[in-house]
Amino acid sequence: MSAPPELCGIFSDALAEVLAVSTGAQYHPVSVRPGETLCAVAGMMTLAGQKHGLLLIHASEAAMREVYTLMTGADDVTDADITDTACEIVNMTAGSAKLRLGGSDYAFSLTTPLVIKGDGMSLFAKQRVSVFDAALECAGSLIHIKLVY
């Protein structure tokens, strides 16, 4: 059975909260066309529950760098910092969504966050697997979500 679309809204709300609290900046939902392409930096986590899912939060290097700068107040940003930011954002977003979904059919546990990096990456899922896309924007900087169930 396919996953309910409002599930993506819950993760999107969780991400907006994570970004607002940890960066002090308001990121607002914007509509995006669903697609296979991923941005250059993608934090991902397997959502381990009765129904397994995969959460990806992806953005350009510049957008991720901006999040790091807003979070830590530091301007000198290394590649490792960008990776760490992607990891921590996906971790916190999953943590916040986990609270929102506790007790539901989609309750899950957190697992180790991972990061994949590279230009022009694509994600393909089998038929009947639900893939949702959403995005948040702040001053031209976009952070994308891809949720797979």
Q: Which residues bind other proteins (CB under 8 A)?
A: 17-18, 20-22, 24, 48-49, 68, 70-74, 80-81, 84-85, 87-88, 91-92, 94-96, 98-100, 102-104, 107-112
Task: Name the token pair of 4.
Answer: 């309910």
Of 31 and 112, nearer to other proteins (C-beta) is: 112
SS (H, E, C) 4-42: CCHHHHHHHHHHHHHHHHHHCCCCEEECCCCCCECCCEE
CB-nearer residue toward other proteins: 4 or 49: 49
Q: How far is the CB of 36 from other proteins (least distance, A)?
A: 29
Confirm if 89 and 115 have CB atoms less than 8 A apart. no
Amino acid letter, 42: A
Minimum separation from the CB atom of position 56 to other proteins (A): 17
Least distance between other proteins and beta carbon 121 (Å)? 23
Among residues 35 and 95, whose Cβ is nearest to other proteins? Answer: 95
Phi (first) and psi of residue 107, to 5 degrees: -60, 140
C-beta closer to other proteins: residue 95 or 118: 95
Tell me the two tokens of residue 111: 């697992």
Q: How far is the CB of 60 from other proteins (least distance, A)?
A: 18
